[in-house]
Amino acid sequence: MGVAVENNEDFAQYAHPERLVSTQWVAEHRDDPGVVVVESDEDVLLYETGHVPGAVKIDWHTDLNRPDTRDYVDAEEFAELMARKGISRDTTIVVYGDKSNWWAAYALWVFELFGHPDVRLMNGGRDKWVAEGRELSTEKVVPERADYPVVERDDTPIRAYQEDVLAHLGEQPLIDVRSLPEYTGERTHMPDYPQEGTLRGGHIPTAASVPWARAAAEDATFRSREELEAIYRDEVGLSDDDDIIAYCRIGERSSHTWFVLKHLLGFERVRNYDGSWTEWGNSVRVPIVLGEEPGEVPGSAR
Amino acid sequence: MSGALPAQLEELVADFTAVPQEDKLELLLDFSRSLPALPDRLGEHPEELEQVVECQSPLFLTVEWEEGAVPGPGAPVRLFFSAPAEAPTTRGFASILHEGLDGLPAQEVLDVPDDLPERFGLTQLVSPLRMRGMSAMLARIKRRVRELQDD
């Protein structure tokens, strides 16, 4: 389903090269029938300042999150969103965004919750497109409405809830992808900044600290398979039959790591805990650990 | 807190609340474009960049007494901001605060209610998380005004 996969030898090293496209591929194929380019950013205004010509905007807050529940849109809402953006079930979606594709990876992950068959990430994201001096457009994109079926979201394979993480403790690996000061608990905020919504600093017991950015190169593209294997297999000790859960603060940075583990390194079982620290750090009767060591699961937590 | 706002700030709140929801982002974008550049003498000040836990954009801001003013609660203060082009929302917030607060007497800046960011009707559109950026900016402006007064 979808258009032909990019034949790019840089991507051949990864487990699922079909999940990536280059900026050059996007420049050549953005207008192809069956391709819709989606920009998804942290900054809600960035798209409006100029975007890949023809790209539509999908915002994590206003489009993908529900206003009334801390959850993602339901099947009907997703189908409506896709239809409005000109996306059908057999469309090849190419997502890109700011900040090394944090939010793009997050959007891609949400598309996968709904089982959209062909979603790809533009390697290097918005930063690389801009750095290469490629065309940006402020022209308003009005997609022709498409038909998109109502498909129920299936969270089980790639999304973890708090209770899943509790059951996971001490049994299977957890990856904390936040910055080190967030992991140690030294910081939940900067001077004069509110506490980013979290009461306590620290991390989930046993979680290994691997800041997401270690998977990204200077130009916002992904590091080589060899470099990624060195981090996640050699250093953290992940192995093929592990059941892995990644988390950050609200689930966006960990979507980036989720993408790396699942699609670039090919781990079969990887879930993103989108409740992340803003849920865990505020929850009653769940254990946390301070400091640089992963720590152990207290007896009472299990 | 629901105190009155200085007139120049009240006007901005009125502008934002008057435009329909779908045009608010456009208005914020206009503000982001009109943020004045830093005067050369302030340069880039990379050492002053403060960044919230990764998720927000670097912002430089400083507050000075109006040139020639005798420092005191009634003396006007000048505000200076800098934020990168790839952070238009941060620039937009900075620009609103610049237009709303620049040139006001120090005490009036300190008296601006802390719930100011909620009054622009942007929270739903921009997300509560992003609106914190503006709250943080206001808090830092006030902190700098207090530091000025203590000098």
- Rounded CA-CA distance B90/B135 in Å is 11
Set out the domains of chain B in order of their start, with CATH numbers: 7-150 (3.90.1010.10)
Q: Which two structure tokens, joined as six digits, stand for A140?
A: 């308003």
Reported confidence tier of residue B1, pLDDT bands at 50, 70, 90: very low
Select the more confidently predicted residue: B40 or A284: A284
* Cβ within 8 Å of residue A32, ≥6 positions away: A3
pTM of the model: 0.91
C-alpha A66: how far from chain center: 18
Q: Which residues pair with A36 in a beta bridge?
A: A93
Give the other-Cβ count within 10 Å of B54's Cβ. Answer: 17
Q: Identify which of A215, A240, A244, A245 has the alpha carbon closest to the alpha carbon of residue A230.
A: A215
Between these two residues, B76 and B127, which has the higher pLDDT value? B76
End-to-end CA distance of chain B: 29
Helix (H/G/I), strand (E/B), else coil: B15: helix
Torsion of CA B141, B143, B149, B151, to 10 degrees: -110
Give residue A57's Cα distance to chain centre. Answer: 16
Alpha helices, DSSP H only, in chain B?
A: 7-18, 21-33, 88-101, 106-111, 123-126, 128-150
Q: What is the pLDDT, as a whole number, of residue B59?
A: 80
On the question of pLDDT at B144 being above 50, the answer is yes
Alpha-carbon distance A90 to nearest alpha carbon in chain B (angstroms): 30
Asked whether residue B140 carries a pLDDT value surpassing 60, the answer given is yes
The whole-angstrom separation of Cα A190 and Cα A177 is 19
Give pLDDT, residue A300: 54
Q: Which of B129, B134, B135, B147 to mutate to test the interface with A (most CBs of A within 10 A)?
A: B129
Closest CA to A3 of A94, A128, A78: A94
> What pLDDT is stored for residue A189 in this prediction?
53
Beta carbons of A49 and B87 less than 8 Å apart: no
H or E, element range at A245: strand A243-247
Contact yes or no for A178 and B85 at CB 8 A: no
Give CA–CA dist A124/A122, Å, rounded: 6
**Pick from B96, B100, B149: nearest CA to A45:** B96
Strand A208-209 and strand A174-176: pairing? parallel
> To the nearest whole angstrom, how far is the Cα of B98 from the nearest Cα of chain A?
19
pLDDT of res. A160? 98
Which residues of chain B neighbour A190 with C-beta distances below 8 Å? Answer: 50-53
Q: Cβ(A221)–Cβ(A67) under 8 Å?
A: no
- With 50 as the cut, is the pLDDT of residue B51 above it? no
Going by pLDDT thresholds of 50, 70 and 90, the confidence category of residue B7 is very high
Instruction: Tell me what the pLDDT averaged over chain B comes to.
Output: 87
- Partnered with residue A246 across adjacent β-strands are A175, A272
DSSP H or E segment with residue B78? strand B77-82
Whether residue B54 is predicted with pLDDT greater than 50 in this model: the reply is no
Per-residue pLDDT averaged across B126-133, rounded?
Answer: 82
In contact, A183 and A206? CB cutoff 8 Å: no
Residue A231 has a pLDDT of 98
Q: What is the mean pLDDT of residues B48-76?
A: 76
Give me the residues of chain A with pLDDT under 70, please.
1, 188-198, 300-302
In this complex, the residue of B53, B92, B136 whose CB is nearest that of residue A45 is B92
pLDDT per position as a tens digit, A12-49:
999 999 999 999 999 999 999 999 999 999 899 999 99
